[in-house]
Amino acid sequence: MVVKLILRSKLFEVMPGMTLRHSLEKAGVPLESVLAIRAGEMLTEDEILHEGEEIKLIAVVSGG
């Protein structure tokens, strides 16, 4: 079972057991551009992501 990272309508799948930082690197999502939420809790980049988890990524960069 993989870890699912969901950013707007995009879905990224990464292997479990990695940190959030490493998982975002694997998915090609810059850490500085998102916040990660797991079961309603904000995650720091050292958190390990586990098998079957769904992580919601919130885009933080806006234009204008």
The residues of the shown chain that bind other proteins, judged by CB under 8 A, are 30-33, 35, 37, 41-42, 44-47, 58-64
- In terms of CB distance, is 1 or 50 closer to other proteins? 50
The minimum distance between CB 35 and other proteins, in angstroms, equals 6
Strands 54-59 and 3-7: parallel
- In terms of CB distance, is 2 or 10 closer to other proteins? 10
The minimum distance between CB 42 and other proteins, in angstroms, equals 5
